[in-house]
Structure 1
Amino acid sequence: MDLSAVCDLGKLERKKIKGDTSIMFAENPNENGRYNHVLEIRIDEDFKYEKINLSQFKKSYLDKYLYKKGSTNGADYTPTARITTPEKTLNNKIIKCLKDTILEYEDHKETKILEKILLTIVEDEEIILKDIEKNMNSKENYILTLVYNEKYVGDFQIFRDKIRKKSIASYYLIEKKESIGKKKHCSICKEKKEEVYGNANIFKFYTVDKKGYVAGGFKKLDSWRNFPVCKECAIDLELGKRYLDSNLSFKFQGRDFYLIPKLIYKKDMEKVLKILTRMDSNIDTQYENTEDLVFKRVERLKDYVTFDLLFYEEKNSALNIKLNIQEVLPSRFKKVYNDMSQVNNLFRNSTKFNEKFNLNFSFLNRLFPRKNYNRYFLETVDIIISDKNIDYKFIISYLTKYIIKGFNEEEGKYFYYNTITAYGFLIYLRILGVLFKDRGQMNIMENMYWDIKDYNSKEELFESFFKENMDFFNTPDKKAVFMVGFLAQKLLNIQYAKENRRPFINRLKGLKLNKKDIRRLLPEIQNKLVEYDANYYRDIESITSLYLLQAGENWSISELDIPFYFSLGMNLEKHINLNKKEEKIND
């Protein structure tokens, strides 16, 4: 991960801060949008408890709340806290924070005021707790803070000093001991600094509790050798991460990722961020998936900026990087989506069956369910966005499983949809240039419908079909398997028209077919068509036999491919009009 790009965001945030700089260390207690109510413990100028005041959370009051999370079992940095239970929060967060601050800053000019506030809260604790409970709804989440004589926590200099000092100390303190390197180079800005710190691990990539992460003979206090960061970069890194969390953290099919802009000319950063974060109702309502919306915004930018996509999972406050896609140009995002639109238009305009055809990245979720195949999902996304090469055997194996599932579940309800979507995805990978890269660029076909009236013969029709799909039908065995699938579907159509059932489907072995099965099925289909007095396809049977003959014994097609090509034959049957009167009666 390029942390300097995150620091660039932090530098911009730092420029926005006017006056007291303590606010840049404060956090948003309602970052997740679930803490929308604030309970204020109101104390008057004579240090008498007045009431609990309920107010709505205001983002403009972040400098007033001056919240910063402390340790799980200890107090936060200031007496502003998220409520778990009223009693625990009042005692372990508010009262304890006041006690800790008084002890640590006994000579501060505001310490006496804090002592009197603390005394009031302790004496009136029972009443305060009852008033807190009265103002709470069990279905809502609350923030608890102090207001003394109309002064909020952030109006106290003592808390501003504390949050600044403690925040900087957290960059170098490990178990209350200092991890500092003197006159060393910062790993981010590369400059030699008076001091570099060893615990400025804002993203929690590693932990000094595990030996394998620490250089210097496994001494925790030597962790600055692993990741030396100067004070300025540590602050910018924290501000940059906060900006990412608030503005550039998105969902990609349910997976969290940061979209990190990187520019050669830093002066354009504000312009880029404005485009990425500005809500536009004319654009935003057009897209059902978050990633579609985000990448459409990125498309509007020119190639003077690149983006890193950092996919991550947070566990126990640690950031687990699942995938880091680096330096993607806006033009690449545009191609990724333009090519997908081409495939969607191709299928939607082909037949009445495909009017609602919609290929998007949610297909990968179905192909690679997150529970067992998240790694493959992310690897495929990386290949698509980074313009790498996808292995045909890998992708065809999962597409085939997806098709077979559609065939065998719910009486084949989704068989057609699964097959057409799988083929659409394969075409997409090909025109995008990540499948069969060595074959060069493939031009997308004009339509997915073939009508006999446009050809002189059925042989010409099928040869035209195979030519237009030549990247996937480049050998006689693939053509033969497709044709047997095509004929099998014709027989099933006739059976259903005559008997309202499809008994021949049992001969397809749940689509787990091999070369021997393909050779077996052709004469079986021919015999059944004769039995039904419906053998309208003798010329197609001849074409199929010819392809089988040309294929010989040494097939190039693997057993992974056979169910895929057979299914294409069965389902693209709807896309091929042979214009036979008998067929129209029976189909």
Structure 2
Amino acid sequence: MINDMRQLALIKLNYEFHHDEHLDISQLRQQHAKELAQYLVENAEKIPRVYVLSPVLERENTVRLSSLELDEEKRQRLPFVKPSGSQSAAVGPVIKRTFKPQEKPSYGPTAKILNSTLKEFKKLATTPSPWQTYFQEIVTILNSQTLLFEQEHSISAGSNVLTKAVELIDEKETVFLTVATDQNGQEFWPGNRPEYHEYLAHELANIKYVTKDTPLQENGTCSLCGKANTTVYPNAIKGAGLNISNADRAGAFCGLDTKQAWKNYALCLDCADLLFIFKNYVLPDLVSEVAGDKALILPSLIGDIDRNEFIEDWHKYLKRLQDNQDIKQNIEKDILEFFKEQEDSHLLLHIIWATFGQNMENVNHYITDILPSRLYQLSELHSRAKKWQSALFPKIRLEEAKFDLHLNMLWFLLKRPGYGKKVNNANKSKKLKEVRQQLTDKIYHGKALANDDKQNLWNEITITAQWYFTEALQQSQVYGLCHEGYSDKKAKKYWTLAGWIRHLARFFYYLDQTGVLPMSKSDTRTFQPQMAELKPFFIPESGIDSNEKALAFLIGILYGKLLQVQSAREVNVTSSTLPWLKRLQLSGKDLPELYAKICHKFLTYGNPSDKTRQVIKETAQVGTLVGDNIVLDITKTVYFLLLGQALAVEILPSKSKSEFGEVNG
């Protein structure tokens, strides 16, 4: 995957520099030093002006300070590198002159920093190197005694031209200060000088890729491109902002000494810089939410794909998304739509979940080798899913639960409801994230969940159901237990326990269609409902493939009906009926007792309606088939109970209604 990152950065550079022949990084350094530098230094787009110190050829020991507005071309000639520390000398003769009104003096850098900078430049001018001559020119200019400024006004430069220039600049925002050298009567800024770019490459490597514990290694071999007898940087991957293996932690490398890192994955400067470019200029367009968490969607280009055509199509696609105001807020959700159209022989996809900021780090899971054709199959399935019709499925479909290639519905289907720190922490559960990622892996590869993974999924579903149920208890909110969520007043859809369980039923059918959780083909159910209102729900996609599940489902319908009746009678169900479900810790053996309580309560309220009596009768029939030894675990018992409860309002609608239900069932 590291090599894919390197290749994508190189492809981007060749595309930006209009090279169809696909040059390597060393060739790009030679032919496009000025342009390439912009990818390795700090972005200067927000700096409006530059002040230039340039020699006055007709006057000895004199420099002129002039100002210019910056455009794109001028910015390329001013590659700026942030100093390593707040009090460190400037890296080169491109300096930020700042304004801080709360400080005295109100401008910066301070005289101390500028003196350190001049001292460092003098050291570079006396140390043999490819850039020694360049810094000799810089030092000569900065040693000038006279400064011309504003209408050729002559001022003594004092002890330090840099200090005097910073003092004279009258700006209330950050601007650049630079030094221009003379080449045969032409003014050259730092970005015009090849020696300076060579110097910057050296300095940037030391700043980004070298630490006290992981110094550079001479005469090494690059672990990425294989270049031998070259300087390698053990900290290159982390220094590039890709701390994808937490390489800075003790014990990450052979032995216990991080100084041995170079033996594992040290990179040459070219590869390190390409990874830096990938992190800062390629990665941002490839980060998206997958299964509800930020992830890098990394394409691996293979075969005889036209790389320039690929990157051009990619940029066109991004621009089309950005220009489309209707989906501007959903750009992150649509990245995979581009990749589904690629050829399997040209591209594979990898997905890496991590945290993204100044660095990409804390990688917690990844999926490899996703085929574009599989994405296309899923996309076709999602189109068909929009037309799925079933009595089980939600009537009020929530937007966040729709099927998309990024599978973000997994987040909402397994999300614990509510607000506050406790809920937030619950939704950040490591186990919950692992279940979402495991599901995503299987969906993208079309493989069935292993038994352990199935159990983990059911456990998380049960926990989410318990959160919904507990929320209803705490808020004395019965409506959401039996009804999908919709506010007429606000014209807004929202999640309820009933709506969630019906979305979940649709999701299980989706998992069956994707091959991830195939529904049982061995239907052992002998019970067949006689009541017309029940028959639409005893269908293959319901998963009611045993008498035990049928019993739980029917008792759930009766329980939901009872909640309607009690709500209409203004009975406090929070303290009376809801505790019967034992905070959703029931298993099959608890069903007979629950059934008896429901029937007794119906009799207490008088004669139930004919339809309710019919469901009671059919429940008794399936109970007879099951007997006393009901083998049904907690997860299945709870699921089918809640599914029946959520459908009660359709199977047994109220005759005389109040806000929540009926007075007489």
Question: Is TM-score (shorter-chain normalized) higher than 0.5?
Answer: yes
Instruction: Say if 2:607 is the partner of 1:533.
Output: yes
Task: Note if contact 2:470-2:583 (Cα within 8 Å) is conserved in structure 1.
Answer: yes
Of 63-72 and 305-314, the range deviating more from structure 2: 63-72
- State the shift of 1:342 in Å: 4.3
- Of 310, 319, 326, the match for 2:368: 326
**In the alignment, which residue of structure 2 is the partner of 1:469?**
541
- Of 546, 556, 563, the match for 2:638: 563
Task: Note if contact 2:223-2:266 (Cα within 8 Å) is conserved in structure 1.
Answer: yes
- State the shift of 1:568 in Å: 0.4
* C-alpha spacing 1:516/1:208, structure 2 compared with 1 (3 Å): closer
SS at structure 2 position matched to 1:285: helix
**In the alignment, which residue of structure 2 is the partner of 1:393?**
455
CA deviations on 1:275-334 (whole Å, 9 max, x unpaired) are 333221586734754443111222232323111122222588573322222111122223
Instruction: Say if 2:224 is the partner of 1:188.
Output: yes
- State the shift of 1:571 in Å: 0.6
What code does the residue aligned with 1:329 have? L
Q: Distance in 1 between matches of 2:72 and 2:435?
A: 40
Instruction: Say if 2:33 is the partner of 1:21.
Output: yes
- Of 191, 198, 202, the match for 1:161: 198
Q: Distance in 2 between matches of 1:532 and 1:77?
A: 88
**In the alignment, which residue of structure 1 is the partner of 2:124?**
104
**In the alignment, which residue of structure 1 is the partner of 2:11?**
12
Q: Distance in 1 between matches of 2:570 and 2:248?
A: 71
**In the alignment, which residue of structure 1 is the partner of 2:50?**
40
- State the shift of 1:250 in Å: 3.4
SS at structure 1 position matched to 2:50: strand
Task: Note if contact 1:529-1:535 (Cα within 8 Å) is conserved in structure 2.
Answer: no
More helix by share: 1
The CA RMSD over aligned residues, in Å, is 4.3
Instruction: Say if 2:612 is the partner of 1:547.
Output: no
Of 146-155 and 304-313, the range deviating more from structure 2: 146-155
Task: Note if contact 1:311-1:323 (Cα within 8 Å) is conserved in structure 2.
Answer: yes
**In the alignment, which residue of structure 2 is the partner of 1:404?**
466
- Of 586, 593, 599, the match for 1:520: 593
Q: Distance in 1 between matches of 2:378 and 2:177?
A: 48
CA deviations on 1:333-353 (whole Å, 9 max, x unpaired) are 234444445445436998894
- State the shift of 1:161 in Å: 2.7
Q: Normalising by structure 2, report the TM-score.
A: 0.70
What code does the residue aligned with 2:373 have? S
- State the shift of 1:558 in Å: 0.9
- State the shift of 1:381 in Å: 3.0
- Of 103, 121, 127, the match for 2:162: 121
CA deviations on 1:497-544 (whole Å, 9 max, x unpaired) are 455875644544444434354212222322333333224222221221
Equivalences for 1:114-513 in 2 at 5 Å?
114=139, 116-117=141-142, 119-128=160-169, 131-132=170-171, 134-135=172-173, 144=176, 146=178, 148=180, 152-167=189-204, 175=212, 178-182=216-220, 184=221, 186-189=222-225, 191=226, 193-195=228-230, 197-199=232-234, 200-201=236-237, 202=240, 203-205=242-244, 212-215=251-254, 218=257, 220=259, 222-252=260-290, 255-278=293-316, 279-281=319-321, 285-286=326-327, 289-304=330-345, 305-313=347-355, 317=359, 319-346=361-388, 353-356=395-398, 358-360=400-402, 361-366=407-412, 367=414, 370-373=427-430, 374-390=433-449, 391-409=453-471, 410=475, 411-412=477-478, 413=480, 414-436=496-518, 458-459=530-531, 462=534, 465-469=537-541, 472-499=543-570, 504-513=577-586
SS at structure 2 position matched to 1:226: helix
* C-alpha spacing 1:355/1:429, structure 2 compared with 1 (3 Å): closer
Structure 2 gap ranges (5+): 18-27, 57-62, 101-105, 127-131, 144-159, 182-186, 416-425, 481-495
Q: Distance in 1 between matches of 2:391 and 2:136?
A: 75
Task: Note if contact 1:343-1:424 (Cα within 8 Å) is conserved in structure 2.
Answer: no
What code does the residue aligned with 1:155 have? N
- Percentage identity across paired residues of the two chains: 18
**In the alignment, which residue of structure 1 is the partner of 2:109?**
90
Q: Normalising by structure 1, report the TM-score.
A: 0.78
Instruction: Say if 2:84 is the partner of 1:71.
Output: yes
CA deviations on 1:352-382 (whole Å, 9 max, x unpaired) are 9415464144443342555333444434433
- State the shift of 1:245 in Å: 2.9
SS at structure 1 position matched to 2:468: helix
CA deviations on 1:118-142 (whole Å, 9 max, x unpaired) are 83221244444xx34x23xxxxxx6
SS at structure 2 position matched to 1:265: coil
* C-alpha spacing 1:152/1:72, structure 2 compared with 1 (3 Å): same
CA deviations on 1:244-265 (whole Å, 9 max, x unpaired) are 2353333447744322222223
**In the alignment, which residue of structure 2 is the partner of 1:139?**
none
SS at structure 1 position matched to 2:388: helix
Task: Note if contact 1:81-1:89 (Cα within 8 Å) is conserved in structure 2.
Answer: no
What code does the residue aligned with 1:146 have? T
* C-alpha spacing 1:179/1:208, structure 2 compared with 1 (3 Å): farther
- State the shift of 1:554 in Å: 4.0
